[in-house]
Structure formats: C-alpha cells, structure tokens
Structure 1
Amino acid sequence: MRVLIYGAGQLARMMALSAVPMGIEVQAVDVGSETVVDPISKLPAGMSLSQAIEEADVLSVEFEHVPEHLLEQAHVSGKLKPGIEAILTGADRVREKRLLERLGIANCAHRIVTDVEQLEEAVAALGERLILKASRDGYDGYGQWRLAQAADLAGLKTALAELDLNKVPLVVEQMADFSRELSLVGVRDAKGRCQFYPLAENLHYQGQLHVSLAPAPGITEALTTQAQQAFTALATELDYVGVLAVEFFQVDDRLLVNEIAPRVHNSGHWSMQGADTSQFENHIRAICGLPLGCTAALRPSAMINIIGCKEFSQQLLSIPECHLHWYGKSVRKKRKMGHINVSAESYAALGARLEKLSGYLPMEHFPKLVAEAQRLQSL
C-alpha cells in the first residue's frame, strides 16, 4: 500500500517512519515546489505529482495550510483522507467558528471583523480584554494581537489599518480566564469508530507550545466526557478519517474549544513512547483502513519541544526513558528543531527526570521546563 502526504516536514517524516513496520510506503509532496519527495531523505522521488496521485492508494496531509488548488486536485482523486472540508476548516478560523457554532460546541465569545472600524463594536460586545487572530495562516503565535484595555484600541487600529480584512478577516475573541490549556488527540476510522488518547496539558510560551504532559493531572470524568463529545461531534459532522486534535481552554469545570487541527498534532508527540500505539501509526492505520491501535497511556509522559537551538548535550540520552527526536532542520528563531520525550512511572518521578534533563539543555530556550519539573515533583 502507498500513501502520499501533502507536506514534507517532520510530521510527514514521523508518519513515514511509523508506516514502515506495517509494510506501507509513504511519499510526500513539497507543496511549495509541488515536488514529490522521500519524506525522510527529502530527495526527489523522480515522478510527477499527477503520477504519484495515480499510484497512491490514499492521500493525506501533515498540515492544513496546503494550497487550495492542490487540495482540489487531491479531492477530485477521491482518495483524500481526511476530506477537503475538514482540512479547509482547520485552515480558516472563520470556517472553524461557524462549525463550532452550528454544532453548539462551547468556545470563546467572538466577533468576525472585516473592517478595523468594527473593532469598536467588538469591544462594546466582548469587553476590552481581547485577542485578535488572523483567520488564515496564523500559527505558533504569529498573526495574533492582544488588546488589554480600551485605551489601546486606537493604536491597535492603526497597526491593523494596512491589512486587507475583507480577504483575511480577523476573529476577535474574548480573552478567557482559563486555568490551563488541554488538548484531545483522537482517531476515527472510515466506519465512524473513534478512539481517544488521554487529555494532555499544554504549556505555551509566546504563543508556541513548549511542553505537553499526558495524561494531564487532575482530569475528571466530566472533563473527559466534554472533550470526547466535542471531538465526536466534529468528526461526525466532517465525516473525518484519521487523527484529529482539539485544543481546549479549561475554565473551572468547563472546556471551551480554542481550535481544531485536522492532522497529527504537536501535543500528541508524547504518544511515540508514552502510548501503546502512537498518533502517527494510528493515522496511517485509519486512512489505510486498518484496525485502530490502542490509545491507552502506558505511563506519565512529557514532550519537550526543542525550539530555535541545536546546541545541547546528547548525554541527555543517559536519562532512563528519555528519547530524542531530531528533525534535521537548519536553525531559525522559533523553529521547532526536534522534541524530547520523557516517561516515568509517576508524575513525581517524571518531574525528577525533567529536572535532570534541564542540566543538559541551554535553559534560555526551555523557559517552561524547570517550573514544570518542580510542579510534577510536588504532585
């Protein structure tokens, strides 16, 4: 069986590596050049995109920001999983908000803004603490602005005045007073059967994920139910096949959907060592029509992103149940260079291992690690 993945980054690479033991061949598309490549070596595969589509049994994506003409070509083949509507929804916050509202899924109060003058109305309706998000092409904190008080509105309007908000509207959200950020990674097959990984707790810095912890501590049955119900409603409406991630804000005992990602997700990387079947293998299984693998967590695990640096001691591998996943990229500020997965038999033991890990890393690039290590040791 052959799978063609749109996008040739680390997610395609990790899907390919998970597919090899199952005898499944994976190719990738560099969507910038429209070149078919090997997802691991990045070398050209020596065939046209049309030929690769014809020879593939199934097509999928590693990220939602695939040029729409390529998505249309994939959709016409009848082989694209998840479907085009799910991918377009994940790429457009306006589509996403409309879907959440249509399904009655709790999310942050918001307004869609297509002209800076509408910001006055948004403040009147939502209050003066707002987060403004570009509806397309924003990620890892890019394409976002914050309003802390109404007095700053004039300056914000000036900063936004040159944007074409008719082309790319803003989603203006009421800033939620949340206690933490959680995500649910799940998988759905073509027959509608869903399986769920445990909720993960996510720690962000400057809008970018730095640490994920799974299973998240202190999760009640009610929170799990809310998360799984939201996932199921979304996946059913989109006739979804594959891995889907849903990010939440926890406000007291209630979950508000922040955003959805129609693909394998950074907050699910812990599953490579911390779960019976990784998110990458389960995505391949789902889109290829194979039985889904068990999503149970084997032990508490943490995923630590390596961001914007490559200088660290590989002696970190001396820590028990510590695994390095390096992506082989050139260094750039805020670029995800790789990640580290660490597991242990208890949260306290995991915290001790994370504290030891900090001794091998340049801590200016890992601002959330030490505090999280100390917190876990106190649980």
Structure 2
Amino acid sequence: MHVLVLGAGQLARMMSLAGAPLNIEISAYDVDSGNIVHPLTQSVIGNGLHNAIERADVITAEFEHIAHDILAICQQSGKFLPSADAIKAGGDRRLEKALLDKAGVRNANYYVITSRQDFDDAIEHVGLPMVLKSALGGYDGKGQWRLKQRDQIEAIWHEMEQCIAATDTQAIVAEEFVTFDREVSLVGARGKDGSVAVYPLAENVHTNGVLTLSTAIADTELQQQAKQMFTAVANSLEYVGVLALEFFDVDGTLLVNEIAPRVHNSGHWTQQGAETCQFENHLRAVCGLPLGSTKLIRSTAMINILGEDTLPPQVLAIGGCHIHWYGKEKRAGRKMGHINVCGDYNGELQRKLCQLAQILDKHAFPAVHEFAANFSE
C-alpha cells in the first residue's frame, strides 16, 4: 500500500515511521516546491502532483492550508481521504463554524467580518470582550486580536482591514471571549465503515498561543461529552482518518474552539501512551484497515521542543522519557521536536515532570517549570 501525504513536515515523517511495520509506504508532496520527497530523509524522489497521484493508492494530508486547486485535483482522483471539504473546513474558520453549527455541537457565539459595518455589527452581536481571528491562515497565536475595550476599536480595525485586504477571500471571525477553566482536546479516528475510536482527552497548556504541554487525562463526564461531539462532527463530514477537536472546559461543559482534520500535536503523546498511536490509526483508517485500540496504557505527557536543536543528555537518563526530533533547521519558536514522558501512574508522571524541570531551560520550557512550581506548592 502506498500513501501520498500532502505536506512534507513532521506529521508526514511520523506517519512514515508508523506505517513501516504495516508495510505501508509513505511519500510526501511538498506543496510549495512541487517535489515528491521521502518523508524521513527529505530526498527528492520525483516531481509533480499528477505523478505523485498516479503512484499512490491513497492520498491524505498533514495540514489544512492547502491551495484549493491542489485539493480539487486530489479529490477528483477518487483517492483522497478524509476529503477536500474536510480539509477546507479545517483551514477556513467560516466553514469550520458552519460545520459546527450543522453538527449541532456547542461553540462560541460568533460573527463574520468583511467590512467596517460588519465589525460594528459584530461588536453589538457578540459583545466585548471578543477574540478576532483571521478566517484563512493564522495559527499558533498568529492572525489574532483581542478587543477588550472600545478605545481599542480603531487601532485593531486598522490592522484587521489590512489583513482583509491582503487577499480577495480573507475575512475575520469575531468570537465571544470565553472564560474557561482549561483547554482540552480529543483526538480520534473514524474508519471507512463508520466505526469510531477516540483517545482519552488531553489537557493542554499554551504559551504565547503555542502548545507547550499536553497530558492525557481521565475524566469520564468530559470524555463522554467530547466523544459525542467528535462523532457528530466526524459523521457530518463522513470523515475518514484522524480528526482532532480542541475544547474550552467551562465549569464542566465543553465548547469546541477549533477542529483539525489531521493528526494533531496534542495527540503526539499516543506514541508512547496508547496501544495504537494516532499516526498508525490514521493510516489504518484511510487504507481501509480496522482501527487499532486507543486505550491508555500508561500515564503520559508530551512536551513541545520549540526553537531548540539540542537537549541535555540527562533527559534520557530519566526512565520513560522519549525524544522525537523532526530533523528541522533551528529557528526561534519553531517546533523542532517533542518529548514524551511516561509513568506507571499519575504520581510517577508528575514526579518525572518535576525532574525534567530541573534539567530543562526555564525560558525554553516554561510550561514544565510552571507545572513543577505548582506541584511543589
């Protein structure tokens, strides 16, 4: 079985590693260069989308922001999963919101802005404070504004107007500001036969809008809510593959914040913490194979490595610590890899996170140090 992945980053890399034991070959299409590359070595093994499609049995994607003409070609081949519509919904907040409404799942009150009049109407409809997000592009905290007071309106509109004018298809989605207890996410898979398997919820910590720490949690009530909403969204899209839903936990009630139609950063913990990792389950789903067990096999957390290309070797001296590098060139703030840390039970995992705080740089790994400080109180 040969799977072509649109995108040649770390998610394609980890799909390749997960696919090898199943004899699933992975190649990656670099949407910027048009090259077909090996996802591990990044060596060029071909060129051109049509050539890549011809060789593939299945086509999938590792990210949402893909040109619509590329998606159309892949969809026309009859090989593309989950679907062009699913990828578009993950890359356009207007489509995402419409999907959530159609699926009947709770999300923040919103308003779409393409003009100054829309902005004024949004302020009245949504109210202050509000969060404003570009409909296209923008992630890891980029392309977003917070409007707290009316004296900020003109300055923020000036920036938003420039963003809207940048392309003919851009808009801003205004959302009510949700006061939440924590952010959680659910990663799950839906097979070709409609079967659904979801992983335990993960509690996520973000620093400056970027995920820094994700920990698998056990919460029966929230898990049930999350699975119901996951199933509603996945069935609405007739989805095939791994899908992630990000939530706000508001006093025990979940609101969907965003969806990601792909394997997801907050699911990397499944490589060591679950019986079948998210990358293998995505491949199983799109290749028409039975889904693997999503059972938690040990307490696990994932730590993002941002802007660092080395780690103290003492990290590997801690039992249950696994480093996953992405083979990227170092750049400030860039996701360079992640650490999965495991324990036989929650207390052991917590102690290992505290051990890591004594080893890892405070500025590079703020969430780990914050956890350790709170744990010791």
- Both structures adopt the same fold (TM-score exceeding 0.5): yes
Counting only pairs closer than 5 Å after superposition, residues 195-206 of structure 1 correspond to structure 2 as: 195-206=197-208
Counting only pairs closer than 5 Å after superposition, residues 344-363 of structure 1 correspond to structure 2 as: 344-363=343-362
Distance in structure 2 (CA, Å) of the matches to 1:266 and 1:109 = 26
Distance in structure 1 (CA, Å) of the matches to 2:240 and 2:372 = 36
Which amino acid counterpart does residue 208 of structure 2 have in structure 1?
A: Q
Give the superposition deviation at 1:17: 0.5
Which amino acid counterpart does residue 128 of structure 1 have in structure 2?
A: L
Counting only pairs closer than 5 Å after superposition, residues 326-337 of structure 1 correspond to structure 2 as: 326-337=325-336
- Secondary structure of 1:301's counterpart equals strand
Partner of 1:238: 237
Q: Is the 8 A contact 2:246 2:259 kept in 1?
A: yes
Partner of 1:288: 287
Percent identity of equivalent pairs: 46
Partner of 2:323: 324
Which amino acid counterpart does residue 113 of structure 1 have in structure 2?
A: I
Q: Which runs of 5+ in 2 are unaligned?
A: none
- Secondary structure of 1:111's counterpart equals strand
Q: Is the 8 A contact 2:75 2:83 kept in 1?
A: yes
Q: Is the 8 A contact 2:241 2:285 kept in 1?
A: yes
- Secondary structure of 2:131's counterpart equals strand
Give the superposition deviation at 1:311: 3.8
Distance in structure 2 (CA, Å) of the matches to 1:340 and 1:170 = 35
- Secondary structure of 2:302's counterpart equals strand
Which amino acid counterpart does residue 355 of structure 1 have in structure 2?
A: C
Give the superposition deviation at 1:161: 2.8
Q: Is the 8 A contact 1:350 1:373 kept in 2?
A: no
Distance in structure 2 (CA, Å) of the matches to 1:143 and 1:152 = 17
Cα deviation per residue 1:6-29 (whole Å; 9 max; x = unaligned)? 000000000000000111110000
Partner of 1:82: 82
Distance in structure 2 (CA, Å) of the matches to 1:376 and 1:346 = 16
- Secondary structure of 2:256's counterpart equals strand
> Is the aligned partner of 1:67 residue 2:67?
yes
Distance in structure 1 (CA, Å) of the matches to 2:232 and 2:132 = 26
Cα deviation per residue 1:279-312 (whole Å; 9 max; x = unaligned)? 0011111111111110011111110000012243
Distance in structure 1 (CA, Å) of the matches to 2:336 and 2:112 = 34
- Secondary structure of 1:79's counterpart equals coil
Q: Is the 8 A contact 1:196 1:228 kept in 2?
A: yes
Give the superposition deviation at 1:377: 6.9
- Secondary structure of 2:366's counterpart equals coil
Partner of 2:110: 110
Give the superposition deviation at 1:47: 5.0
Give the superposition deviation at 1:374: 4.7
Partner of 2:250: 251
Q: Is the 8 A contact 1:186 1:195 kept in 2?
A: yes
Distance in structure 2 (CA, Å) of the matches to 1:289 and 1:302 = 30
Cα deviation per residue 1:198-254 (whole Å; 9 max; x = unaligned)? 01000001111000000x25x2x3321211111111111111110000000011121
> Is the aligned partner of 1:58 residue 2:58?
yes
Distance in structure 1 (CA, Å) of the matches to 2:25 and 2:182 = 39
Partner of 1:49: 49
Partner of 1:160: 160
Distance in structure 2 (CA, Å) of the matches to 1:188 and 1:341 = 25
Which amino acid counterpart does residue 238 of structure 1 have in structure 2?
A: L
Distance in structure 1 (CA, Å) of the matches to 2:310 and 2:57 = 41
Give the superposition deviation at 1:134: 0.2
Partner of 2:272: 273
Partner of 2:227: 228
Q: Is the 8 A contact 2:306 2:336 kept in 1?
A: yes
- Secondary structure of 2:44's counterpart equals coil
Distance in structure 2 (CA, Å) of the matches to 1:289 and 1:161 = 45
Partner of 2:17: 17
Partner of 2:312: 313
- Secondary structure of 1:96's counterpart equals helix
How many residue pairs end up in the alignment?
Answer: 375
Distance in structure 2 (CA, Å) of the matches to 1:321 and 1:376 = 20
Distance in structure 1 (CA, Å) of the matches to 2:47 and 2:124 = 56
Q: Is the 8 A contact 2:133 2:174 kept in 1?
A: yes
- Secondary structure of 1:343's counterpart equals strand
Distance in structure 1 (CA, Å) of the matches to 2:348 and 2:313 = 21
Which amino acid counterpart does residue 81 of structure 1 have in structure 2?
A: L
Which amino acid counterpart does residue 262 of structure 2 have in structure 1?
A: R
> Is the aligned partner of 1:339 residue 2:341?
no
